[in-house]
Each structure stands twice: as C-alpha cells, then as structure tokens.
Amino acid sequence: MVHFLSAWQRSSVSFFQHQNKIKTVRLLRMEYQDAVHTLNALQSNNSVLEQEQQRSDPEMKLNAAKAFLQRSGLTVEELDCLNAIHVAGTKGKGSTCAFTENILRSYGIRTGFYSSPHLVQVRERIRINGLPISKELFTKYFWQVYQQLDATKEGHEGTMPAYFLFLTILAFHVFLQEKVDVAVIEVGIGGAYDCTNVIRRPWVCGISSLGIDHTNLLGDTIEEITRQKAGIFKPGVPAFTVVQPEASMAVLKERAKETECPLSVCPDLREYRVPAGSLRLGLSGQHQRCNASLALQLSSSWLRHWQQPEKHRPAAESTGLSLAPAFQPTDLMVKGLEDTEWPGRSQILRHGPVTYFLDGAHTTHSMLACVRWFREQERIDTGSVVRVLLFNATGERDCASLLKPLIDCRFDFAVFCPNIAETIAPHYSDKHGTWTATETMLARCLGNQSRWRRLSELEEKQGGGLLLEGRLPLLVEQRTHTLVFPCILSALWWITQGKDPVLASQGKFFFPVQHSDSAKSAPLRGATKIHILITGSLHLVGGVLKHLDHSLST
C-alpha cells in the first residue's frame, strides 16, 4: 500500500510538472503572438505608404531612423561593435549575404544575419549562427525595444517607427545583446537613405548585381538607382562589386572616388584557384556564381581584419577602382559555399510526383535568371510532365515585363493568386510587408491573367519561340489555360489534385472550384509528373512554403 501511494505521488508530481510546462508554453505562445500582432500594427496601408514615400525627404527619413535608434537606447557609435558587413544591390544581395554568413560561420565565428523579407515567420529576418532567433528571444527583445520606444513617444509627437525600421532596430539590439562577432546586414531598399545605413563604420561593403527596381523611390534610370545603392560606401572602408552594366560601373567608380572608398570588382568564379570540380554551390543557377564570388571577397576581407585588425584599413592612395585578386579559397570557404541554404531562391522541393521550383524573382533581370534556372533543371527530368506556373507580383512592379520571359517556358497552366496563404487563417499571423486590400490583390491577379493571355496570343501570332533541345511537347494541345484563385492553398490544391502527399496529409479547408475549372484539370489528374514554378514574389513563395515545409512554421 505504501509502495502504491509512493508511485501515485510520483506520477502526480510528474503530471503537475507536465501541466506547468504546458502552461509555460501557452503563455510564451500568447506573448509571442501578441508581439507579432503589435509589430503588424506598425505596418501601413499600401496607398498611404506610397503617398508618404513620394512626399518625404529621404535624408530626413534617415535622420529619423537615427532618432528612433537613440530613443530605443542605442547610439550609432555602439553599432561600430557589430563589425558589420553591409550589402546592397538590386538582385542577389540576399544570396550573397547567405553565402557570406555561411562561410564565416564555417570558421566558428558567431554570426548575426539581418535580411528581408521573411518567408513564413518574421523571426527569419534576424538570425544567430544561421538560425532564426527563437520565439523566446524574439519575445524578450521585442518587448524591451517596443516598451522603450513607446515610453518616449509622448515627447516625439506620439510617433513610433514603421515596420521595417522597427525590425532593423530590433536586430541591432539582438546582435549586440547576443554578442555576435559579425553582423551581416542586407539593405532593404536602395542604400543611401535605407535605415540600415545608420551603420557608420562597417568593416566591408558589397554591391550585388544592379538593375531597375523601386523606381518610385530610387529614380527612373540605372544611374540614379546605382547612386542610391553606392550610398553605403564609407571613407576608407573596402567595398566590392560584381561586374555591372557600363553606366552603373561609371557611377560606382565616381562615388568610390568621392567617398574615398577603395572599390574592387570581383573576378569570375572560374578564376579562383581550386581543384577542378571541387567548387560546388549550395544555391543552384548560373546567376549564383557572381554572388558566390562577391561573398568570397567579402568574407576574405572581413577575415583579414579579424585576424590582423591593425592592417585592415587601406592606405588613402588605394582608393578608386581595381580588380580584386582571384585567390585560392580555403577548405572552409569551399565548404561554406557548398553548404549554403537560402529558402525560396532557386529552391526545389520534390513531393512524390509533384516537383516545386521556387524562386522569388521580382525584377526583369532576376526573372530571366529564374527562367534559365528552371529550364536547366527541367532538362534533367524525363517522362511525361505537366508544367504549371503559379505567379503573383506586388506593388508598382511592371508585371508584363515579368511575365514575358515566362511565356517561352510553354506552361500548360498559368495560375494566379494573391499572397494570402489561406482564406481562413489564424488571427496572429506573420503577415508580410504593407497592408493591401484583398479586393485590390485579386484585381491585380485578374490583370495578370489578362496580360498572360495577351502575351500568349502575341506569341502564337508570331510563331512562338523554339523549344529547347530534348524538351517534351505540351500535354495540352491548345494554348495555356489560365485560372485565378482567392488564396495560395486553394491554388495548390487544384494544381496538385491530391498528388502531393505532404499537402494531402494536412486536411485543410479550401474553397471548392467551379465545375468549369474542375473540368480543366483532367491533364493534371492524368499526369505522372507535375512541375510547378512559383515566382514573381518572395511573399508568394513564402506562402507556398508555409504549406509545404513545416520546419519553417515551427
């Protein structure tokens, strides 16, 4: 009897300990969800934001960022301790940062990495040693920073920082408190007046490939845009860039001279001295090769400072433009490039007979690179394939210029949906960017459907492009079917027709399709393989990954 009571008491203690753990987890979840909800309240209506951007002085915005930073309890001088690597560019800057961070982490260096946008959870934007910060750390530091800013707003006309600026300040706090050795900082938009440019003394800067984007903020010409990107140059701080268009290179050279910044152009990746076949990249696609070269130069420059800080700052006469040397990468550098992962960029997921090709390309040049990558990957596969495009684009982007390169891929179906993961979603979701009305998003999707049809008709009248060698004919003999869905989940359900075991196992609710749309799906139901290219927006890619990769949601 005594033995029985003892065992019962032990089990009771264990039970109550388990219940306390559950309560702790629930409390943490609520605090984290409250933090995300409060953060989302800092987002602006998209139309209001556009008006503010058009009438605001960009230099005043940067000064305001410094003021918010100070209100949060930090000074720009303290940011010198981040030993930052600062990277701007139109395309490839995120991949460059991912390569760079992974190389340095392979040396055992404690890394911080700030990027945007996030795909599924906002914590992805702030990483320690390659991993998004935990919910515990996010919650802890979020409320520290938010409450400090909230407590000081009465003396500053009740103002609070906007969404991206708040996250930038939060990242600085996290990196300093968690004592990272290096902070790899990806610029948000532009460079000169981006809020990340409050960093006054990075250890090295990088400029990835440049092109036309965000014209309402940065200017209509490549020269204006380049001047904005080059705004991260600092006196005496080494900077590296990839080969750029002639007009961009001239502006970069001019800005480097004006700021007394030593600027170097990265060599082709083939010029680095490595044994044949030993240099493999974790990110696929030819366009990643220039990003990898830039990452090698950034990490090598940073390591030289780390190992010999007194020799880091170059002499004044070295300022200007030069060619960076093609050195022999160390084994750790080679490993860092090979092991790099960066979801949503040239990413492939295979779920049974369904293969997803995910790339958040959202400029004309990046879409051309996406198409090349998709075609390269499709050459590898054989068999009867139905090809589907899932597309959306946001903001002021020229959707016709994004869709035009995709016509040559000869899709059987072109599907359009807004960046809404599902029509019935939790209240506390890590929604992205600025708020836009659902009606506006659906109107854009219908507009993209019409653009695709017009581009397809024009292609047919002109005879179309040549199919790639070895490419299989379309299963659908007529021109591409087009459909619009109200959310990502309903689009995925219709496209995969129950063939994706991961998606099918979730049992989530989605709106049923019309009978006419169901009739169109016969080729999908009969297909042995379905290839889906998801592109046009990183937010769209993130919404897809939320359903397909549970590790990103947990």
Residue 116 among known ligand-binding residues: yes
CA distance 521 to 495: 8
Residue 381 among known ligand-binding residues: no
Question: Could you tell me the strand order of the sheet in which 413-416 lies?
Answer: 347-351, 354-359, 529-535, 385-391, 413-416, 481-484
In DSSP terms, which residues pair with 206 in a beta bridge?
87, 240
Nearest to 527 by CA among 395, 428, 332, 384: 384
Asked if residue 245 has a cis previous peptide bond (ω within 30° of 0), the answer is no
- For 298, the token pair is 């950034």
| 3-state SS, residue 467 | coil
Q: Give the rounded distance of the alpha carbon of 143 from its chain centre.
A: 25
Residue 214 among known ligand-binding residues: yes
Nearest to 356 by CA among 541, 538, 482: 541
| 3-state SS, residue 60 | helix
Helix/strand/coil (H/E/C) assignment for every residue in 286-355: CCHHHHHHHHHHHHHHHHHHHHCHHHCCCCHHHCEEEECCCCCCCHHHHHHHHHCCCCCCCEEEEECCEE
Question: Positive or negative CA dihedral for 422, 427, 429, 435?
Answer: positive
Residue 228 contacts residue 203 (beta carbons within 8 Å): no
Residue 418 contacts residue 438 (beta carbons within 8 Å): yes
Residue 361 contacts residue 533 (beta carbons within 8 Å): no
Residue 65 contacts residue 149 (beta carbons within 8 Å): no
CA distance 179 to 412: 52
Residue 194 among known ligand-binding residues: no
CA distance 199 to 379: 45
Helix (H) / strand (E) element for 66: namely helix 58-71
Residue 509 contacts residue 515 (beta carbons within 8 Å): no
Residue 186 among known ligand-binding residues: yes
Burial class (CB in 10 A: 0-12, 13-18, 19+), 517: middle
| 3-state SS, residue 167 | helix
Find the length of the chain. 554
Annotated binding site for ATP: 345, 359
Annotated binding site: 116, 186, 214, 345, 359
Annotated binding site for Mg(2+): 116, 186, 214
